[in-house]
Amino acid sequence: MSGAKEFSAPDMAMRTAGILFVFVIIFTGLLSGAYQWTKPSIEASAAEEKMRLVDEVLPRSEYDNALLEDSLALPATPELGLSETSTLYRARRDKQPAALIFEAVAPDGYAGKIRLIMAVRADGKVAGVRVTQHKETPGLGDYVEVKKDKNKARPWITQFNGMGLSEVTDKAWKVKKDGGEIDYYAGATVTPRAVTKAILKAVKWTEANRDRLFAEGVSQ
């Protein structure tokens, strides 16, 4: 792309740098413009997405507060398998505690961490659990995810619905292979075992911290 006249080397370098600079300015401008312009609707759909996930673990009929606004920042909680901070949401009905919605991690899946979102009612019973992220083997251990479960009528993960420590004791809260009550599919035990254990730990954690979690940051 030589111009009409010859450039000396420093001039050439300056000119090239200048052109690169102009391109950088233009495209950075384009990016920030697109970012600013799309930000409100992206935030709206992220909130909607969160609510869709919450709807899977807790029916809307069970609470009447603005759930996403009634949140609590959790520090790293080893009982939930979380080594990073997370957010807990509190569902209330007529201002009375209804359920806690939070994330948990099963650290010992067959291929690393299995992330869960779960809701535990104020009476200590599981309202619902969903796997949000995992790297389990396709076709073997991935049935913990509802979408991959071949049993569409009653996916594996839904057997925890309604379970609480008053119905199922510590000892029975295991997969059947380990002498417990939880069903699993032959061929992949590590995955359901990890999920079952993580749910038990999380239920125990809510049992111990429930009052504090519902009360924290709320003026009576």
Find out whether 205 and 213 touch, Cβ atoms under 8 Å: no
* Residues paired with residue 87 on neighbouring β-strands, in sequence order: 73
Find out whether 195 and 157 touch, Cβ atoms under 8 Å: yes
Which tokens hold the place of 184? Answer: 């699993």
Find out whether 114 and 130 touch, Cβ atoms under 8 Å: no
Q: How far is the CB of 184 from other proteins (least distance, A)?
A: 17
The binder of other proteins chosen from 61, 75, 94, 138 (CB under 8 A): 138
Q: How far is the CB of 51 from other proteins (least distance, A)?
A: 13
DSSP state of 169: -
Distance CA 104, CA 98 (A): 19
Give whichever of 42 and 73 is closer to other proteins, judged by the CB atom: 42
Q: How far is the CB of 41 from other proteins (least distance, A)?
A: 4
Q: How far is the CB of 23 from other proteins (least distance, A)?
A: 5
Which tokens hold the place of 27? Answer: 């495209």
Instruction: Determine if 140 is a binding residue for other proteins (CB under 8 A).
Output: yes
Q: Which of 163, 194, 198 is nearest to 181 (CA)?
A: 163
Give whichever of 139 and 162 is closer to other proteins, judged by the CB atom: 139
Q: How far is the CB of 216 from other proteins (least distance, A)?
A: 33
Find out whether 74 and 82 touch, Cβ atoms under 8 Å: yes
Please, which of residues 5-44 interact with other proteins by CB under 8 A? 15-16, 19-20, 23-24, 27-28, 30-31, 34-35, 37-38, 41-42
Binding site for other proteins (CB under 8 A): 1, 15-16, 19-20, 23-24, 27-28, 30-31, 34-35, 37-38, 41-42, 45, 48-49, 137-140, 147
